[in-house]
Chain A
């Protein structure tokens, strides 16, 4: 059974810092990995999708990497802004099942 762990559970940084959110998964036989953002009381917004054959994906100030063999992914946020404050969720799609989520990292970027 696939398990997804996100570290840290919460993170508070001043505006302008670069930061890294970590995600690990127990079964490396994944189809793809997706990072989402969830604002309080809102739905999930997809940030980046990495297919199993890819090593990284970039969108603006966000960069996600995938190391399938070690069961790890990182989400790098450059030059953080208060508007980046949200919960970031990592989810993996095992080859045999549906998207499985971690418990998220709650990020607070202070002005």
Chain B
């Protein structure tokens, strides 16, 4: 299946821990993204990345860092997790000029 895949689907962890969420796309897209959906269901861009440029939303704490080993992967690493980081995180990708394809999301709960 051609898709954007995220793992894990659910992640429960304690405050202060470091965790990573993985994202892979097999669509041949050149740009990947991370979005955060808060408790009010509002989706907000965190990062966009292609092989040339990383664009960071200035409101994202520097505890969050994207890591891209290759064009098909964009992982999200979070240091020193806080309660307020609890949310659903969505990975997405697209080819320039085309629509976005989203993964099914990772529900992060920080306790």
A residues whose Cβ falls under 8 Å from a Cβ of B: 31-32, 34, 36, 38, 42-44, 46, 49, 51, 87, 89, 91, 97-101, 103-104
Contact = CB atoms under 8 A, between A and B. Distances in A.
A87 B40 CA distance: 12
Interface of B: 33, 40-45, 48, 55, 90, 92, 97-105
A100 B48 CA distance: 12
B42 A103 contact: yes
Nearest to B98: A49
B99 A100 contact: no
Contacts of A44: 90, 92, 102
Contacts of A31: 97
Contacts, number: 45
Nearest to A87: B41
A89 B55 contact: no
27 contacts: A31-B97, A32-B99, A36-B102, A42-B104, A42-B105, A43-B90, A43-B102, A44-B92, A44-B102, A46-B99, A46-B100, A46-B101, A49-B98, A87-B41, A91-B43, A97-B45, A98-B45, A98-B48, A99-B33, A99-B45, A99-B92, A99-B100, A101-B42, A101-B44, A103-B40, A103-B41, A103-B42
